[in-house]
Chains A and B, each alone.
Chain A
Amino acid sequence: MQHRGTAARRGFLLSAAALAVAPTLGLGANPALAQQAPAKLIITAIPDDGDADRMRENFGALARHLGKAVGIPVEYMHVENYAASVTALATGRAHIAWLGAVTTAQARMQMGTRLTLLGCRDIDKGFVSYFIANPSTGLGPVANLGELAKAAQGKGWSFTFGSKSSTSGHMMPRKYFMDQSATTPEKVFRSVAYSGSHDVVMQMVADGTHQVGALNYASWDKAADDLKARAPIVYKTPPYTNYALTARADLGPELLAKLRAALLSIDGSTPEGAAVLKYLKAGKFIEADIAEWQGYVDLLESGIDIGG
């Protein structure tokens, strides 16, 4: 029995020693975070797509395009948590981030003027969410969400949002629901769940696990027809502003100007550009001003009841 301790300890000592040595070996390749023009730019994105590989591939293409244009290597780091991408950007562990409206506002609230925008897609200024319902509810299209709340009252239906931090899968549907029905989903439905992503919301409403759900229009539009038939739209929200490509202001005006120009110049002529535009379902990137997202900051700061 006594050999156990010694043997195990030796193993650990070895690992500790190796761990202490290993970083120093690679140190030369990793300069500390510089305030101006770092040797490598890190780009990250909120994980709003269900497919990590597809995100790696297409944001990798975006990273290569930006890297070629500014002459600094750009690397895409994939995260699977909304808050992690904002934290990385706000603490300087990432330099550029593809964020939704809510996450942009969160980053703005954390960083103030240290956050700037590179641009957004042409479709980002008119984003829409859908409310969908299982046919077994007998619910047809409703004129506004007050009607939906009235219809659902006392039925014991359950409701599902997508991800907690999602703009189109949680924040905006919730805001419109509260504005139009003067009540909260928690009070109307038997339970309110967060299923994780737009795709799962659609699947779960279609198979009747949840009776009603909310998701962004793009995920509904791209779904198969039989799925659409089992999860028909009952309400379309008014348009709102969504995603943006954000960056840290301390990259310096020169580098930021280059990055902006590189982003706006993306078109179908290069393989990378074509891949990015096709993946993001955009015609082109357009200029954006942080003021257009200020409404979200105000909304969050007003202490809106987000169910938490």
Chain B
Amino acid sequence: MGAAGMSSVALPLTARYEKRPLGHFVALLAVLLAVLAAFAAAEWDWAALTDAERRAQAAARIGAWLAAFARPDLSAAFVAHAWELTLQTLSAAILGTALAVLLAWPLARGASRAVCVGEERAAGRSAHWWPWLRPWLRPWLRPWLRHFPLRSPSALLCAACRLLQDILRAVPDFVWAIILVAMIGLGPLTGALALALNITGILAKVYSELWDGVDESRYAQVRSLGGGRIATFLYGIRPLASRNVLSFTLMRAECAIRNAAVIGAVGGGGLGAEIWYQVRFGAWDKVGTLILFTLLLTLAADLASNYVRRQLRGDAARSGAAPASCGVVGDSTEKAPTSVRPEPPANATRPPRSPWLAAGFVALALSWSLWFMGWGNQAGEGGAPRNHLVPAAELFTGQAWENLRFFERLLSPELDLAALGLGDPEKAAARAAQGRAVELFADYGVADFWRPAAWAAWQAELQKWFVWRVVESAAVPLALAVIGTLLGVGGAILLTYPHSASFQLHAAQFTGESPALWQRLLRAMQLAAARASAVVARGVPEVMWAFLAIAFFGPGLVAGTLAIAVHTLGVLTRVFGEAVDNQPLARFEPACGASRATTYAAVAVPRVWRDWMTYAFFQFESNVRAAVVLGLIGVGGLGFQFSFNFEWFRFERAGTYLIMIILLTVLIDRGARLLKLSRVGR
């Protein structure tokens, strides 16, 4: 036993040093293969770029669009209306996000392996559950047992929590909204709750992954002092990950504010729904105004979250290196409120006041949104206030849960067994008589596998089976997400450098240079430009990017990919930049003397790479589910087909598509988790 324990400790160490360089090549190869597969699996039409006539046409259309946007409707009535919508959006989004944080926190604790299952590297732990396993097999099987949920009750709980959070975010928010309509009726609260459910899945996933991403060695001492799993979480894991958790929460809050189209979808109002509405009406001047308001709201949310972050980040990170500059860490160029600066602790005994300021700010925002939803919203008959919180009481009635039966058919997905000759023999026979049954080896046997024609024939046969068509429908969104996310990630990595306050404003503290005034001005301008483009990229809804791209490229995959790429760029630049700015400046000091660009590429990027990949994989996963864009560009695909069937109340078929969406989500999620584990050789 002792010998086995020794070898299992030694094994991962040696394995790490041998594996590490190889892993990068495998990852690169995988990305390359994914790109090739994406180009092979779907039809890409570049004619809009290569054909001169179409290029001119497209440019004219884009010009017309931009001209329409450049003349926003600034009439007093419409601006007042947009302002009202802004308030509605804000209150529903804040409420939804707050609820989501509340729900996601316990769920993520369950879904994080480090928190819920705890230390598994300890020798003999898994052997305890598998006494029948031969001792010499254990070191070989142990790494794989980690992925087997039945190995212990806590592992089962972990797997269940992960599945729950996957379902919460795999089901689109508008579907949650429709389900909630049946439960609590129409109104803005319904939209806010739907938003909350969807964001819960998103936050829980990212929290649990960030917690799992903390290296075990960094909180080993909590455990060695006798801390149980909860103590390890509270005193070890949570504080170590809290900066990124906070960053991501605030960033989701901002996203919720922007994308809250679902709030209006079921009777609420709000900016997102109104934009989509005016787009359908073709009132581009109004769309221009609304997008302007969305951008302002995004900017305000950005500034507010920077304020909260700055109050909560503590001074330990920067006080040593630059007490004078802590106040402007966020972005002085965007007129951040500079009146309240965290003071460097004058004496160590007095606890800092800034966390209270931040908490007060958050509480204020929350109480305002509750008040607005309950009493301040003047959307009732003749401008009378309406209490939109009332319908929540419906949740405590039996009727609300009884109404869920309306969606019961989602649980009996259409498997189309008749096509395979299974199930009811009569139906199967009828299907076969119609010639719509799958006869896989009718023309080519298994022995013909080397002929390309055989594969084509097999595919044609399989397409008669509904479930196969469902599986195939994943190809288009996957191809779109692979290319779109890669483009977005690449762009975000480049844009993060000018977007980072650490590298544009505080670089002097770790490079040892002393930039002249004009250099500092130039850098501040770079920062402002980078932040402005990121705000525009993520502040303008995906749907609008899709419209612009369609006008240019014509409907098709290229347009959709471009829309997804621009949106991904905007979202990722913000979290990528925060991951860099969250690094204490002292960590960049070893590169003293190197240029800023070198420090960025050689020190900052490797430091934050794991966080970046967490965010990138998450974005990839949500891009796979993008449904609205798919419908607009006219290529069909998984997410679109699901919402199509759901809206036609063909719940059985929708159920099959939903299973496929959940399956994809789970696969990508587990894949991302696996990849990260292999990277650090845990």
Min CB distance B393 to A, Å, is 4
Q: Does A79 contact B (CB under 8 A)?
A: yes
CB<8 Å pairs between A and B, sample of 7:
A12-B102, A19-B370, A44-B186, A77-B186, A81-B266, A197-B280, A307-B644
Q: B-facing mask of A121-165, CB < 8 A → 1, else 0? A: 000000000000000000000000000000000000011100011
In the complex, the chain B residue whose C-beta lies closest to that of A22 is B389
Partner of A207, one of B64, B177, B381, B631: B64
Assuming A7-B355, A7-B359, is B634 touching A88 (CB within 8 A)? Answer: no
Assuming A81-B174, A106-B649, A308-B648, is B634 touching A160 (CB within 8 A)? Answer: yes
Q: Does B101 contact A (CB under 8 A)?
A: yes
In the complex, the chain A residue whose C-beta lies closest to that of B397 is A32
Q: Could you tell me if B181 and A84 are in contact, using CB atoms closer than 8 angstroms?
A: yes
Q: B-facing mask of A61-103, CB < 8 A → 1, else 0? A: 0000000000000010111111110111011111000000000
Q: Does B650 contact A (CB under 8 A)?
A: yes
Q: Does A293 contact B (CB under 8 A)?
A: no
Q: Could you tell me if B186 and A51 are in contact, using CB atoms closer than 8 angstroms?
A: no
If over half of B's interface residues share one DSSP class (helix, strand or loop), that class is named, otherwise mixed; here it is helix
Q: Could you tell me if B392 and A210 are in contact, using CB atoms closer than 8 angstroms?
A: no
Min CB distance A140 to B, Å, is 22
Min CB distance A82 to B, Å, is 6
Q: Could you tell me if B101 and A12 are in contact, using CB atoms closer than 8 angstroms?
A: yes
Q: Could you tell me if A158 and B634 are in contact, using CB atoms closer than 8 angstroms?
A: yes
Q: Could you tell me if B555 and A78 are in contact, using CB atoms closer than 8 angstroms?
A: no
**A84-B177, A84-B181, A207-B61 given; 14 more Cβ-contact pairs under 8 Å:** A3-B351, A4-B358, A26-B393, A29-B387, A80-B277, A84-B267, A87-B406, A92-B403, A93-B182, A109-B649, A164-B643, A190-B556, A193-B633, A199-B281
Q: When chains A and B are docked, how far (Å) is the Cα of A5 from the Cα of B282?
A: 46
Min CB distance A195 to B, Å, is 7
In the complex, the chain A residue whose C-beta lies closest to that of B366 is A15
Q: When chains A and B are docked, how far (Å) is the Cα of A18 from the Cα of B370?
A: 8
Partner of B280, one of A60, A84, A106, A199: A199
Q: Could you tell me if A164 and B644 are in contact, using CB atoms closer than 8 angstroms?
A: yes
Q: Does B583 contact A (CB under 8 A)?
A: no
Q: When chains A and B are docked, how far (Å) is the Cα of A87 from the Cα of B95?
A: 24
Q: Identify which of B64, B351, B406 gathers the most chain A CB atoms within 10 Å of its CB.
A: B406
Min CB distance A113 to B, Å, is 17
In the complex, the chain A residue whose C-beta lies closest to that of B364 is A11
Q: Could you tell me if B649 and A82 are in contact, using CB atoms closer than 8 angstroms?
A: no
Q: Does A306 contact B (CB under 8 A)?
A: yes
Give how many A-B residue pairs fall within 8 Å (CB-CB).
233
In the complex, what residues of B have CB within 8 A of residue A92's CB?
399, 403
Q: When chains A and B are docked, how far (Å) is the Cα of A86 from the Cα of B393?
A: 23
Q: Does A291 contact B (CB under 8 A)?
A: no
Interface size in chain B (residues, C-beta < 8 A): 84
Min CB distance A165 to B, Å, is 5
Q: Could you tell me if B370 and A15 are in contact, using CB atoms closer than 8 angstroms?
A: yes
For chain B residues 67-105, which have a beta carbon within 8 Å of chain A? 81, 95, 98-99, 101-102
Q: Does B283 contact A (CB under 8 A)?
A: yes
In the complex, the chain B residue whose C-beta lies closest to that of A211 is B554
Q: When chains A and B are docked, how far (Å) is the Cα of A204 from the Cα of B633?
A: 12
Q: Could you tell me if B280 and A1 are in contact, using CB atoms closer than 8 angstroms?
A: no
Q: Does B362 contact A (CB under 8 A)?
A: yes
Q: Could you tell me if A77 and B267 are in contact, using CB atoms closer than 8 angstroms?
A: yes
For chain B residues 387-420, which have a beta carbon within 8 Å of chain A? 387, 389-393, 397, 399, 403, 406
B residues adjacent to A (C-beta < 8 A): 45, 57, 61, 64, 81, 95, 98-99, 101-102, 174, 177-178, 181-182, 184-187, 238-239, 242-243, 246, 264-267, 273-274, 276-283, 312, 314, 316, 351-352, 355-356, 358-359, 362-363, 366-367, 370, 374, 381, 387, 389-393, 397, 399, 403, 406, 550-551, 554-556, 631-635, 641, 643-650, 653
In the complex, what residues of A have CB within 8 A of residue B238's CB?
5
Q: When chains A and B are docked, how far (Å) is the Cα of A47 from the Cα of B174?
A: 15
Q: Could you tell me if B556 and A191 are in contact, using CB atoms closer than 8 angstroms?
A: yes
Q: When chains A and B are docked, how far (Å) is the Cα of A4 from the Cα of B390?
A: 32
Q: When chains A and B are docked, how far (Å) is the Cα of A57 from the Cα of B267?
A: 14
In the complex, what residues of B have CB within 8 A of residue A30's CB?
390-391, 393
Min CB distance B287 to A, Å, is 11
In the complex, what residues of A have CB within 8 A of residue B550's CB?
204, 209
Assuming A2-B239, A32-B397, A306-B648, is B265 touching A81 (CB within 8 A)? Answer: yes
Assuming A93-B186, A193-B633, A199-B282, is B399 touching A33 (CB within 8 A)? Answer: yes
Q: When chains A and B are docked, how far (Å) is the Cα of A197 from the Cα of B381?
A: 28
Assuming A15-B366, A24-B393, A81-B178, is B242 touching A200 (CB within 8 A)? Answer: no
Q: Could you tell me if B403 and A11 are in contact, using CB atoms closer than 8 angstroms?
A: no
For chain A residues 7-32, which have a beta carbon within 8 Å of chain B? 7-8, 10-12, 14-16, 18-19, 22-24, 26-27, 29-30, 32
Q: Could you tell me if A200 and B370 are in contact, using CB atoms closer than 8 angstroms?
A: no
Assuming A5-B242, A84-B177, A158-B634, is B370 touching A11 (CB within 8 A)? Answer: no
In the complex, the chain B residue whose C-beta lies closest to that of A136 is B57
In the complex, what residues of A have CB within 8 A of residue B358's CB?
4, 7
Q: When chains A and B are docked, how far (Å) is the Cα of A24 from the Cα of B177?
A: 23
Min CB distance B367 to A, Å, is 7
Min CB distance A287 to B, Å, is 27
In the complex, what residues of B have CB within 8 A of residue A199's CB?
280-282
Q: When chains A and B are docked, how far (Å) is the Cα of A181 from the Cα of B259?
A: 41
Q: When chains A and B are docked, how far (Å) is the Cα of A288 from the Cα of B502?
A: 70
